[in-house]
Structure 1
């Protein structure tokens, strides 16, 4: 032990170069670790670029809030819903026969509904147009009036049905409804359909106005090809 202390006392100056060598070794190891980490990071980026068409993956940015656009979409959806409900009557001859007041502009509630529809249609922004808040408020109010007017007109039409017609006219409506069933019956022959269709038009003439679209839809149903009968066993070859 004394000899070791004596050696350390005589060669104490060796502490400095040994310390420098130790710190240098530690620095070299740290630098190697840093270079290795950078290399792994570059490799990961290259992999991400390859997987994403040459661009590193990134989380998509959330869309910017658009309160005016969202509100407009909701009002337009309400507008379209009422129009769709109205077209269910306008394009369906059977419904028009059952509730003729829905197509009669002389009825006060139907006339009010048609006016409200025109106002809402005129205030609706064009596709891609972003209205001002004031214009959007006017459009929203018009759609609300349109909804209310339709509800009133539909309720009244279902209540009165054919009450506004004379007994003879109601009889013609009943006949037209029965003939309509034949005109669109797939079990009927094409000739039977055509005869029934012409009778329907005659019975409704002067009673109910049919739009061109309603007539076109009805004619498509009348002209629909009859289903061909299927044979369980194919015919055998001619002998």
Structure 2
């Protein structure tokens, strides 16, 4: 042991640097341990929060399913929404059709606003084209299953149909018979007066038939009446035709 004591006695001053090194190493190790412990605590906390969020999401989803039921999932809700929108679109389509038929089947209105029956007029032609497109895209009923793209296409067609009709109607009411010559306007006026007699049930059947034929003569070459309009007019002139009597004869063209 004496050599060791001799060495320590000779190099006692080395104790101080070694103590410093030991102290520094101990401090570093302690710091690293604290950092590792801190990271473990943070990781445990993060995992706990993630688990809590996951459990909350599952609980909310379970509650939503319990409230809505399997028949009210997202897809069913979207289909129901499309069904409602389709019903509204078809109702708008029908409304514009009825407005158009008010002109198409009413000879008195056609005489007052003749451009509504004239497909040569640009605005009327545009309306008729829009009508054809909307009619072609119209589903057979509001109960059919329809995808979003098809619904959007039909929606745009109905909108175009409605706008085109509004524009054509406004223009027809603005210009009225201004596109006709003075002689043609007089013929339209006579046709309007004769039409009142033709549908006047207080007049005799002979008077109504004569007036009807003259109405057709005055309108010939000015306004084209559809077959449906003629049928409606004939029933107004002679309601008894429904009982099977001889139908009214249109005026014959002169040779």
Give yes or no for the alignment of 1:173 onto 2:188: yes
Structure 2 Cα separation of the partners of residues 125 and 184 of structure 1: 38
From 84, 88, 94, the counterpart of 1:74:
88
Misfit runs of 4+, over 3 Å: 62-65
From 139, 158, 166, the counterpart of 1:143:
158
Cα deviation 1:178-237 (Å, max 9, x = unaligned): 000000001100000000000000000110010111000000010035xxxxxxxxxxxx
From 177, 194, 218, the counterpart of 1:162:
177
Other structure's SS at 1:165 match: coil
From 187, 200, 222, the counterpart of 2:215:
200
Structure 1 Cα separation of the partners of residues 200 and 97 of structure 2: 28
Structure 1 Cα separation of the partners of residues 98 and 234 of structure 2: 21
Larger helix proportion of the pair: 2
Number of aligned residue pairs: give it. 164
Q: TM-score, normalised by structure 1?
A: 0.66
1:189 corresponding residue in structure 2: 204
CA positional deviation for 1:129 = 2.7
Structure 1 Cα separation of the partners of residues 175 and 226 of structure 2: 22
Gaps of 5+ in 2: 1-70, 241-255
Structure 2 Cα separation of the partners of residues 153 and 120 of structure 1: 16
2:148 corresponding residue in structure 1: 133
Cα deviation 1:109-145 (Å, max 9, x = unaligned): 0000000001111111123432211000010011001
From 112, 123, 128, the counterpart of 1:109:
123
Structure 2 Cα separation of the partners of residues 122 and 147 of structure 1: 15
1:84 corresponding residue in structure 2: 98
Structure 2 Cα separation of the partners of residues 212 and 172 of structure 1: 21
Cα deviation 1:51-82 (Å, max 9, x = unaligned): xxxxxxxxxxx997511111100000000000
Other structure's SS at 1:174 match: helix
Kindly name which structure, 1 or 2, has the bigger radius of gyration based on alpha carbons: 2
2:109 corresponding residue in structure 1: 95
Q: TM-score, normalised by structure 2?
A: 0.62
Gaps of 5+ in 1: 1-61, 226-239
